[in-house]
Amino acid sequence: MLVSRLLDAVGADAVKFAPEDLSVYAFDGYTQGRAPSAVVLPRSAADVSAVVKIAREFGEPIVPRGAGTGLCGGAVPIEGGIVISFARMNRILELDVRGRRARVQPGLVNLDLSTRVAAHDLFFAPDPSSQKVSTIGGNIGTNAGGPHCLQYGTTVNHVLGLEIVDSFGEVFTTTLDGAGYDLTAALVGSEGTLGIVTSAWVRLQRLPESVRVWVAAFPSIDAASEAVSAIVAAGIIPTALEMMDRVIAQAVEAAFHAGYPTDAGAILLIENAGFEDDMRACEEGLYRIVHANGALSWHTARSQSERDALWAGRKGAAGAVGRLAQNYYLQDVCVPRSKLPQALRAVEAAAREHRLIVGNVFHAGDGNLHPMILYDKRDPLQVAGVIETGNAILSSAVALGGTVSGEHGIGYEKREAMTQIYSTGDLATMARVRDVFDPTLMFNPEKIFPSGARCPEVRA
């Protein structure tokens, strides 16, 4: 049977199959799926390959899993099957300081990578708010972003090559060096549906010489978002440009005492990293624009500890919201940056219609909205309102020329929304890639593609 074959292949300590151990793997940060039949914790690509071959023999789907911090069900088994958890494959395999690159295992925690290369004056740029726990493999799966990808770009810009186990258990590598199709780009963001990453070459950045963090307070979300649009329109791309509304700023202050003004309608947290010589011009440009857009106050963080506190508040915002409501639903959409004011008005209107409170904390510089809709899941009326509000936000983002996921991915939650931005032909084109890598849909089934999208006319 399946479990004994897995035990033979990877050893007793690498397989979980007791029901009480499996149930936690039915969840991610938000979604509930089904408990898998087994969880395997491989130590090598060879282990992963062996598991994939066994799964194929038994017709079991495979769901790769990092830290399970996703919010769209990407790492959640929908049809059961085998979960491959990368908790034990968390090492840095090679570090090339001169070439500023490292080969890492997929289970390495994002922040651990930056911490461990800091002594060489290097860091890994993608920094999702989950970075204290989320893994490089998971970041690759969702092409994760984070506040600092405003300047550095999302994960795909930082992956130089991959080692992959395909759905037949064969190991292959991809690279950005040399000629050939850019399979690395196809695999990053494919949410585990094309192949399983067993190691990755990632690009590292040199730590900046100088860092400034500023906080600007505005009377309203509207004024703050107009300021963001004006900053981008002026060609100023700071390293990070984050917005928080009053709901979030108050929650964060109560939880962390980060140093945010709590009486403003919205605040911008702005960071610029680079050279000391450019800081003054950058600050002057920002200062002029925020004041032209009605800023109430402008504050420069004076020390590293103050900067750290401001960032800790931002990255802990989701947790702090737990103080405000029993539950929250976090939406993730992205709009053209000049459409931010309209997009935020649409969020507000949708929530008001359902008498729900929304907190906004997001990557404003990228136009990447993260409205958090507060509710109590014991109240079915509120639950229904949350779903409708979430859908309305999604549709209004699309209507403004935006997309249904900026950085969290499609997973299971958003797959039906794919039809809002793509035609049947567009989706069929993506499905051709799936056909090549995973023709039997064994890897992470029921993800990304809308249900029914695999019917013959869609396969073209």
Partner 1 sequence: MTPSSVEELSDVVASCNRSGERIAIEGGNTLAGMGVPVRAPYAHLRTASLTAVVEDAPTDLVVAAQGGITLRNLATQLAAHGTHIPFDAPLAHQATLGGTLAAGWLGPRRHLYGRPRDYVIGSVAVLADGTIARAGGMVVKNVSGYDMSRLYVGAFGTLGIIAQANMKTTALPPHARIFIAPLPEGTRRRALASVVSLRIAPAAAFWVEGFHQSIDGEDGHEGRLIVLLEGSAALLERSTRDLRSALGRAGVPETQILDTGAREAFGRIVDAYVSCLGERSVTYRISAHGQSLVDRVLAARLLADRFELRADTLADAMNDDIILRVSDLDSHALGAKIAMFDDAFHDDEPGATVVAGAHPQRASLNVWGELPDAFDRMRALKARFDPNGTLNPGRFIGGI
Under rule CB under 8 A, which residues in 270-289 are in contact with partner 1? 275, 277-278, 280-281
- Residue count, binding to partner 1 (CB under 8 A): 79
Which SS3 state, helix, strand or coil, does residue 349 take? helix
How many Cβ atoms sit within 10 Å of the Cβ of residue 454?
16
| Shortest distance, position 45 Cβ to partner 1, whole Å | 13
- 206 versus 377: smaller Cβ distance to partner 1: 206
Cα separation, 194 vs 450, whole angstroms: 16
Cβ neighbours of 392 (radius 10 Å): 18
Closer CB to partner 1, 39 or 188, in the complex: 188
| Residues 172, 204 contacting (CB under 8 angstroms) | no
**Ranges within 100-159 binding partner 1 (CB under 8 A):** 142-143, 145, 149, 153-154, 156-157
Subset of 388-417 contacting partner 1 (CB under 8 A): 401-410
Q: For residues 14-33, which are near partner 1 according to CB under 8 A?
A: none
C-beta closer to partner 1: residue 3 or 436: 436
- In whole angstroms, how close is the CB of 448 to partner 1 at the nearest point? 5
- Ramachandran region, residue 128 (left: φ > 0; alpha: ψ -120 to 50; beta: rest): beta
- State which of positions 279-338 bind partner 1 (CB under 8 A): 280-281, 334-338
For 411, residues 6+ apart whose C-beta sits below 8 A from its C-beta are 28, 31, 70, 71, 72, 73, 74, 75, 76, 191, 447, 448
Binding-site member from 19, 179, 305, 457 for partner 1 (CB under 8 A): 179
Each residue 82-111 as x (binds partner 1 by CB under 8 A) or -, in order, gives: --------------x--x------------
In three-state form (DSSP H/G/I as H, E/B as E, the rest C), the secondary structure along 44-98 is: CHHHHHHHHHHHHHHCCCEEEECCCCCCCCCCCCCCCCEEEECCCCCCEEEEECC
Angle at 314 between CA 312 and CA 315, to 5 degrees: 65
Q: Cβ 442 to partner 1, closest distance in Å? A: 16
Among 26, 111, 237, 312, binds partner 1 (CB under 8 A): 237
Scan residues 339-368 and list those touching partner 1 (CB under 8 A). Answer: 363, 366-368
* C-beta of 5 vs 434, nearer to partner 1: 434
Geometric angle at alpha carbon 44, from 41 and 50, rounded to 5°: 75
Instruction: Select the residue interacting with partner 1 from 186, 207, 312, 399 (CB under 8 A).
Output: 186
Within residues 415-434, the interface with partner 1 by CB under 8 A covers 418, 421-423, 425-430, 432-434
Measured CA to CA, the distance from residue 178 to residue 180 in angstroms comes to: 7
Question: Contact between 177 and partner 1 (CB under 8 A)?
Answer: yes
User: Looking at beta carbons only, is 325 or 410 nearer to partner 1?
Assistant: 410
Binding to partner 1 (CB under 8 A) within 191-220 occurs at 194, 209
Q: How near is the Cβ of 172 to partner 1 at its closest, in Å?
A: 5
Contact 334, 406 (CB under 8 A): yes
User: Could you give the CA distance from residue 133 to residue 418 in angstroms, rounded to a whole number?
Assistant: 28
